[in-house]
Structure formats: C-alpha cells, structure tokens
Structure 1
Amino acid sequence: MTEPVTVMIVDDHPMWRDGVARDLADRGLTVVATAPDGPSAVRIAIATRPRVVLMDLNLGATSGVDAISAIIGKLPDTRILVLSASGEHQDVLDAVKAGANGYLVKSASVTELVDAVRRTAEGSPVFTPGLAGLVLGELRPGGSASADPQTRLTERETDVLRLVAKGMTSRRIAERLVLSPRTVESHVQNTLRKLHLHNRVELTRFAIERGLTEDG
C-alpha cells in the first residue's frame, strides 16, 4: 500500500500499549492514537479514523467486544484486529460476530503482529494459527437455508470463496487452483456481485457463517 497504515491501539495496560505503539512505529506503521478502554476507544476512533484498530478484549470494566460493535457501527470501513491474551473459543467467536476482521493472541511475535496489521489494512482476515480453524468450523448460524444465496455460485467460485476465507492472496489461490491471478480476481468480483457483498472481509464472514471451509 502506498498510503501509510494508520493504527489505533486499545489496551488497558499502559506499558503494553506504549510498547506495542513503539514496535509498530519502528516498523513503519503510523500510530495515530491509543485508548485505555472501550468508550474512549469509540470516541477517539471517530475523531482519528484509523485504518486499523488493534483491540484488546479485556478492558477492565468495559468490553472490547462492545467497542468493536460500536466502532464498526460508526466507521464501517475501519478494520479491527483483536490482540488479546485470551485464546478462549467463545472470546474469538464473540469478537468475529461483533465485526472483528482478525484475532491474534499476545504471544505473537512483533514480526507476526506487524504483518497481521498490514494484512488487516489490506482487507485480509488474519488469525493466530489454530484459531482460524475454530472460527471457520464453528461459527455458523442455526437459521433457515431457504433461498440461500450460496446456490448462485458456481463450483469454481465456491472453491475460490473457501480459499479467500482462509486469508489467501489471489496469487496463492491461483497457484492452488492452477489459475491465473486475473481469473481468481474475476471469480472474486463475480462472487461479490452475486452475494451483494463489498469486500473480502464480508466474503469471509459469509463463508464462516456457512462453514464452507471445513474440507480444507
């Protein structure tokens, strides 16, 4: 990306928050704000409009999940990457349902974190290894499948959708399916149009809700 990636960091531990801010700034990311709790995170995000919000879930008396919902409600183009000490299944699922685009645990290295922030800014879903399988396998609705828009997709479009939902780039998908990157992008655009979605994050949520990636 030619534009600097702007980031806001939300964490209730000042030393951790400041340390992450330094690590990201040292590697070329632009930290525009920090916040210690959910309400201030929402207020500051609206004022600074960061590309990525790096969000802890446990914010003392406030909930990171509630903050995610509130920020997405006000700034739908902002991407949320959770960075939490918790790898509990329910925490991960609650965050994704609220609108998070990815989830890392705090044991991630600085290199992994910087890469995850950049990929999140580009629109890719990013998960700590092991958590992606949880989300893709378990987060699904119990509602009716009648008039399912998935039935509008061709077999190849469904194949591409599965790999998009696993965070693969068009180049990697092209290599996996023995297609050209341009053909992959064509399938992605056709799928977005058929499903009335806008970007890869929404495609990923669609796939998550239907458990489309179980077959690996």
Structure 2
Amino acid sequence: MSGSTMPAAPPPTSGSPGGVVSVALVDDHPVFRIGLAALLGSLPGVVVVGQAASAAEGRALLTGRDDVDVALVDLDLGDGSGVDVIRDVLRVRPGLRVLVVTMHDDDGAVVASVRAGARGYLLKSAPPDAVERAVRAAAAGEMILSPQVAERAMAYVLGGRTAARVPFPQLTDREREVLDLVAAGLDNTGVARRLGLSTKTVRNVLATVLAKLALRDRAAAIARARAEGLGGDAI
C-alpha cells in the first residue's frame, strides 16, 4: 500500500516476543489463584503461562520453562515456604522477576522475601490496578512494594535497627529471626506463619540454633535469647 505508514510498534516490556509479559502463579489457595489468573489474563499484553499449587510444583514450573517473565509467589505453601522456593528458583533462573503476593505484612516476611531475591511485595488485599502496576513494573526490572509494606520498610530502616549490635553473630540471619520469634513467645506454627516458612523448616532451624549455642532445650534458648535482647515483643 504505497503512501501509507504503519504505526511503530511499542517497545517490548519484557523478554517475551512482541512485548507480552508472561506470568506464572504459585499459590496453594485455588480460589485466589484462579481469580488472580483471570484478572491477569484480562490485561492487555499479559498472558498467564502456568500455575502451581505447591512449593514442589512451583519449583518445577519456574525452573522447567524459560518463557516466564514474572512469577507471583505466595509465602505460605502447603508443602513448604515461598521464600525457599524463590531462593531456589533464582539460583537456576537469576533473571526471573518474582513478586510476593501474601497476607503477611510483618517486617520479617518482607526482609526474608527481599533477601531471597523478590523484586516486589504485594498484599493479597491489593486492588486490581495495583497488581497490574506491580506486574508491569517487575517485568521492566523495577522494585515495587505495596504502600503499606513500603511504609513499614521505611520505618524499619529509619529506626536504625540495621545499625544495632547483632546478638549471636555465629547464627545466620534466618536462625536469628527464628530465635527472636521463639523468644517472643511464638510456637513453631506461629514462627512459620510470620516468616513464610514450613513448620518443619522452623523445627530444623531451631535444632541448629540449639546446637550452635550449646543449649539443651527450647526453654534454655528463650532465656538466653532474652538475656541478649531478643524477643522484645514477648507475649
């Protein structure tokens, strides 16, 4: 057609052909996962290419295909921790952008997710337009936090907690987080929920803490941790 000019195609927003953002979902709550898939599938330039209902399925899905640009991962999965899934998957696919979508807004869950490599953190109560913005931002390589989470994260930093003396330097960050919550009075299930871990993982971490600190039992660990200033929100 001589004399006519075709409009320029928009620049790609991701590594997928034609600028389409390919997303995968890892969540063990079928109603939420199906609803989220329907929402994302209705957005222009976004396609849902896979869903997983457990930690094991999530690992297999996200490491088994290379056409996923953005993965949305819950922290509480029936057979494991979303944080562990994120960490494991990013070792294999470091270029994958991961968004956490969860009900938990506590500092520990946010920090654990970001340390694992998540590029964003959304609460499940986020409105549809916020979910869309987060997916597109993550696909573009940006870091994004929901407003509530961003406010808490800023308070965490400005509070100077990162500059405080670190108790039990022989422990890893995860071990210290678990010990802190145990000292605060939480049982293994409560610690698992706060950190997005499985109860089995919490049990194993606590056993490692007892061995490293040469403590005989949970009660001794609580007493020692509180003496070092942990468990500040003891209940």
Query: TM-score scaled by structure 2?
Result: 0.57
Quote the offset at 1:61 in angstroms: 2.9
2:90 corresponds to? 72
Question: What is the CA deviation profile of residues 26-80 of structure 1, one whole-angstrom value per residue up to 9, with x for unaligned ones?
Answer: 1121111000111211111122231101010011231000000011111000001
CA RMSD of aligned residues (A): 1.8
The letter of the residue matching 1:45 is L
Equivalence for 1:97: 115
Measured in 2, the distance between the counterparts of 1:121 and 1:135 equals 22
Residue 21 (structure 2) pairs with residue 5 (structure 1): yes
| TM superposition shift of 1:138 | 3.3
Larger Rg: 2
Counterpart residue type for residue 114 of structure 2: V
SS for the counterpart of 1:65 is: helix
The count of corresponding residues between Structure 1 and Structure 2 is 143
Deviation at residue 136 of structure 1 after TM alignment:
4.6
Question: Residue 31 of structure 2 aligns to a residue in which SS?
Answer: helix
Partner of 2:220: none
1:89 Cα deviation (Å)?
1.5
User: Match for 1:79: what amino acid?
Assistant: R
Question: Does 2:19 correspond to 1:19?
Answer: no
Per-residue CA deviation, residues 5-39 of structure 1 (Å, 9 max, x unaligned), is 01000100111111110110011211110001112
| Contact in 2 for aligned 1:119/1:126 (Cα 8 Å) | yes
- What is the distance in 2 between the residues matched to 1:106 and 1:15? 12
- Three-state SS of the structure 1 residue aligned to 2:64 is helix
Does residue 37 of structure 2 align to residue 37 of structure 1? no
Instruction: State TM-score, norm by structure 1.
Output: 0.62
Contact persistence 1:33–1:48 (CA under 8 A): no
Q: Distance in 1 between matches of 2:163 and 2:86?
A: 23
Q: In 2, are the aligned partners of 1:32 and 1:48 still within 8 Å (CA)?
A: no
Question: Which whole-Å CA distance do the structure 2 matches of 1:17 and 1:37 have between them?
Answer: 11
Distance 1:134 1:74 in 2: 31
Unaligned regions of 5+ residues in structure 2, if any?
1-12, 165-235
